[in-house]
Chain A
Amino acid sequence: MSAFKVLIVDDEVDFLESLVRRLKRRMVDATGVTSGEAALKYLAAQPADVVVLDVKMPGMNGIDTLREIKKSHPQVEVILLTGHASVESGVEGLTLEAFDYLIKPVKLDELIERIMEAFDRRKVVGEISSAERDAG
């Protein structure tokens, strides 16, 4: 399994299961939850490096969840998944410091690539911040 932890958030259970299954097969340590609330609860309990977040969800939507994640876990990188009709939400997500947005359906390889990039940045940011901590 990979050295980093990925959290997938999507209200569509079938999609979620299928995606998690495939990621695991590619040796990505992925876990799925079905709502924004569950994602926050998960992050509160254990750390994750990258969160893949569906924008359009009943209840707490992706943008709200992103805002909350960035508030409580600023170092976690977030990749947004949007539909064609909600590209605006993806752009809005970028202004809220999401790492990137991808349009569903997304190719698995591309997703994994993005996740790796996000993790790389997470590592750099984490090192800088820990270096600052050491220096401080």
Chain B
Amino acid sequence: MSTNHGRPAAYYRTLTRNLVLFVVVVSLVPLMFSGAVILYEFDRAYQSKVEQHLEVLLNKHRRTIDAFLTDRLADIRVLARSYPVEMLKDPAFLRAKLSLLREEYGGVFVDLGLVNPEGRQVVYAGPFHLTGADYAQAQWFKQAKAGEHFISNVFAGLRGSPHFIVAAKKRLMGRDWLVKATIDFEAFNALVEKLVIGETGFAFILDREGSFQTKPRQEVALASGAWRELLRRPLDGGKVTIIQRTGSRDREMIYAAAPLKNGSWIICAQQERADAFSLLFSAQRMAVTIFVLGGIVVILVSLLLARRLVNRIAEADSQKEAMNEKMIEAGRLASIGELAAGIAHEINNPVAIMVEEAGWIEDLMSEEGPLSEETLSEIQRAVQQIQEQGSRCKQITYKLLSFARKTDPTVKEVSLNSLVEEVISLVGQKSRYAGVRIETELGPGLPRVAASPSELQQVLLNLVNNAVDAIDSEGGVVSVRSNPDNGWVRLTVSDTGIGIAPANLARIFDPFYTTKPVGQGTGLGLSICYGIINKLGGEIKVTSAKGKGSTFVVLLPAISQSEAAPETTDPAARS
């Protein structure tokens, strides 16, 4: 069986593509949607978790640092309040106290000093030689004299290294002495430096003017947008303020700040977002990876399945195609079978004549004596008759063979009119005995159609055969007309037969539907016609009136005039 009537490869490609798209969209879209929702919710939850963590961390350190400062101040206040100025004036006493404090608190206290009301340090215990140093003009001294006690900002001072001062007043005879201790910057710095957040996070302390009170682990651009924005905020009420901005080198950063030391200092922290959210980001990466891998698997599987499915469909299609061809073949044989009785009779008639004529010659030759002139010419006439009838037989068998040969689905340029004539000559005998007159009106210059001649012959044979069968013993007329119709070729086969009941009209093209008695019709004829005409891109329609006859109209696409020369068939009507 040929496969050139199968569907084009493009059809199967489109089918595969649509199947794959459908499966991929249906399976991946919900996955993507739920993934996105989960990621979003997780992101939000993690965001607040990170901020809370930062807040807790900053609050804890803020308390630690505040406690450290008030404790150190308390140490000095206890010292100032516990001993009279006379005792404090004793350098040995101060040294003893300093070593006690250093023992207790490590290297936090650097030195101790007593500053008289004029700002001169009268006694000093410590590593530097600052006895007699004059602080009258120092900023911290002025500020310290204003209150009961005092913690200075970090400054370099006389010694030229960063430190800050914790001082407490000691009133003696209406004059304010100051007991002053220097806190080692490094020791204080360690408190903040210990505050490490993740891999990249660190903290530092600023005063309200924006100078560093501790040494940040990394350089901090306070002038940069994010810090400026954050430090301009009120930062009151002991709350931690957190913002997220793009920092230097285009890194996403988290910035946090909270007031300290009654609002005169600010503890600041910064961390790279990628670090803070590293777990989130790795979860996101994993989710995306799973999604991508899953997507690839889904696409591959759907491709594989679609391929298989489409292959199966293609296989089924080609099987169906083969089956159709077989059915056409079967239908063809069935129609020839229906014609067989007529054709047998048609052959039988000339055979009977030949037998009679041969017998006649025998009779003549059995006469006694020499053959007369008259007898000889009679024999000659009989022989000629035998020859004529012989060639009539030959024609009939030739016609029958032209129909009985195998169906060839190859599409050629076909002249519809000559096919009609062939078919009518075949049905002629049958119709004559049925009392049916066949009229033809074949349009001249009919364009050719692209079709398989044997298949189209089949269509015509079925239609004309049915038309003849539709006419009852009263006799009637079957007319076959062909004419061009605007790019189409129209063939009309109408009969004056019994017609088709409206209820049956819808079913006549169904396979195996027949109203003929069992054994006389396969019910395949019209369904085969329908299949063949559909395949050729044509149309078949029927109108019928019960008792008045039916008309079948077949429209076939014509080969355009430029492609093929029109046929020149003599439109002479035949009957």
The answer to whether A binds B is yes
Residues of A within 8 A of B (CB): 12, 14-15, 18-19, 21-22, 25-26, 56-59, 61, 83-86, 104-108
A105 to B356, CA, bound (A): 8
Asked if residues A105 and B348 are in contact (CB atoms below 8 Å), the reply is yes
Residue of A59, A83, A84 with most chain B CB atoms under a 10 A cut-off: A83
Q: Does A18 lie within 8 Å of B360, measured CB to CB?
A: yes
Chain A's nearest CB lies how many Å from the CB of B351?
6
* Contact of B355 with A56 in the complex, beta carbons under 8 Å: no
Residues in A neighbouring B475, C-beta threshold 8 A: 59
Q: Is the CB of B433 within 8 A of A84?
A: no
A74 to B145, CA, bound (A): 164
Contact B349 A12 (CB under 8 A): yes
Per the CB 8 Å criterion, the residue count for chain B at the interface is 23
Q: How far is the CA of A106 from the CA of B344 in the complex (A)?
A: 16
Is there an interface contact between B344 and A22, defined as CB atoms closer than 8 Å?
no
Q: List the 6 closest A-B pairs by CB distance, nearest first.
A: A18-B356, A105-B355, A85-B344, A105-B352, A85-B341, A83-B348
Q: Are A19 and B433 in contact (CB under 8 A)?
A: no
Q: Is the CB of A58 within 8 A of B433?
A: yes
A83 to B346 CA separation, bound complex (whole angstroms): 9
Q: Is the CB of A12 within 8 A of B352?
A: yes
25 A-B pairs (CB sep. < 8 Å): A12-B352, A15-B349, A18-B356, A18-B382, A18-B385, A19-B356, A21-B360, A26-B363, A56-B345, A57-B433, A58-B433, A59-B475, A61-B433, A83-B341, A83-B345, A85-B341, A85-B345, A86-B345, A104-B348, A104-B349, A105-B348, A105-B354, A106-B352, A107-B359, A108-B356
Main DSSP-derived SS at the B contact region: helix
Using a CB–CB cutoff of 8 Å, the interface residues on chain B facing chain A are 340-341, 344-345, 348-349, 351-357, 359-360, 363, 382, 385, 389, 432-433, 435, 475
Q: Are B341 and A86 in touch, CB under 8 angstroms?
A: yes
Whether B433 pairs with A15 at a CB distance below 8 angstroms is no
Contacts of A104 in B (CB 8 A): 348-349, 351-352
Q: Which of A18, A59, A85 contacts B353 (CB 8 A)?
A: A18
Give the distance in Å from the alpha carbon of A18 to the alpha carbon of B340 in the complex: 26
A85-B340, A104-B352 known; A18 and B345 CB under 8 Å?
no
Find out whether the CB atom of B351 lies under 8 angstroms from the CB atom of A105. yes
Across-interface contacts of A108 in B (CB, < 8 A): 356, 359
Residue from the list B348, B352, B360, B389 in contact with A22, Cβ < 8 A = B360
How far does the alpha carbon of A116 sit from the alpha carbon of B432 in the complex, in Å? 33
Give the complex CA separation of A25 and B354 in angstroms.
18
In the complex, residue of chain A having the shortest beta-carbon distance to the beta carbon of B345: A83
From residue B339, how far is it (CB to closest CB) to chain A in Å? 11
Chain B residues with CB under 8 A of A14? 353, 385, 389
Query: CA separation between A61 and B345, bound complex, in Å?
Result: 14
Q: How far is the CA of A59 from the CA of B431 in the complex (A)?
A: 11
CB pair B433 A18 closer than 8 Å: no
- Tell me the minimal C-beta distance from A59 to chain B in angstroms: 6
How close is B520's CB to chain A, nearest CB, in angstroms? 13
Do residues B435 and A22 form an inter-chain contact, with CB atoms below 8 A?
no
Least CB distance from B336 to A in Å reads 13
Given contacts A22-B360, A107-B359, 13 further A-B contacts (CB under 8 A): A14-B353, A14-B385, A14-B389, A15-B356, A18-B356, A18-B357, A18-B385, A22-B356, A57-B433, A86-B345, A104-B351, A105-B351, A106-B352
Q: How far is the CA of A57 from the CA of B345 in the complex (A)?
A: 10
> CB-CB < 8 A to B356: which residues of A?
15, 18-19, 22, 105, 108
**CB nearest neighbor in A for B343:** A85
CA distance A85 to B353 in the complex (A): 18
Q: How far is the CA of A104 from the CA of B475 in the complex (A)?
A: 26
The 8 Å CB contact of B348, one of A57, A61, A84, A107, is A84
Give min CB distance, B508 to chain A, whole Å.
Answer: 28
Please give the distance in Å from A90's CB to the nearest CB on chain B.
Answer: 13
Shortest distance from the beta carbon of A113 to any chain B beta carbon, whole Å: 15
A53 to chain B, nearest CB (A): 14
Q: A83-B344, A85-B341 are in contact. Are A22 and B359 (CB under 8 A)?
A: yes
Chain B residue with Cβ nearest A104 = B352
